[in-house]
Amino acid sequence: MITLFYDKTDLTNKKAASWFTSRGIEVHLKNIRYISKQELLHILKLSDQGFMDIVKKGTISGESDDTIYNMTFDEYINYIIGNPELLKSPIIIDDSKLLIGFNSDNIRLPSFYRKLG
């Protein structure tokens, strides 16, 4: 099952959801504000560069660089869960693939999904 984590304020998220539904692909929509620790860990596991892939650049305001850099992995996970606006969106995942952001020209569907349409 494909899950799309979205931010309600971003038009790109609506385009991504529409892209899947227009192709008859079932997608589970989940507001990024309610991302769980387990889901965040799964996203990090699928990413190439960890936090650098999923956290918006220049968004960690109110915390000094030293504070952020001195956090443990678990502390940073909890910090992100408490501040989900730091995450890029949309984040699209399934069991083994991750896509951050959305550009319909760059999406490659596995043959299983192409046969559904």
pLDDT for 27-46, tens place per residue?
Answer: 999 999 999 999 999 999 99
| Angle, alpha carbons 116-5-39 (nearest 5°) | 100
DSSP state of 27: E
Domains of the chain (ranges; CATH) run: 2-116 (3.40.30.10)
Considering the chain, what is the average pLDDT of its residues? 87
Rounded CA-CA distance 83/85 in Å is: 5
pLDDT for 52-94, tens place per residue?
Answer: 999 988 755 556 666 778 999 999 999 999 999 999 999 999 9
The residues pairing with 79 across neighbouring beta strands, listed in sequence order, are none
Give the pair of three-digit tokens for residue 39: 């889901």
Rounded CA-CA distance 32/84 in Å is: 7
pTM of the predicted protein model: 0.83
The Cα diameter of the chain in Å comes to: 50
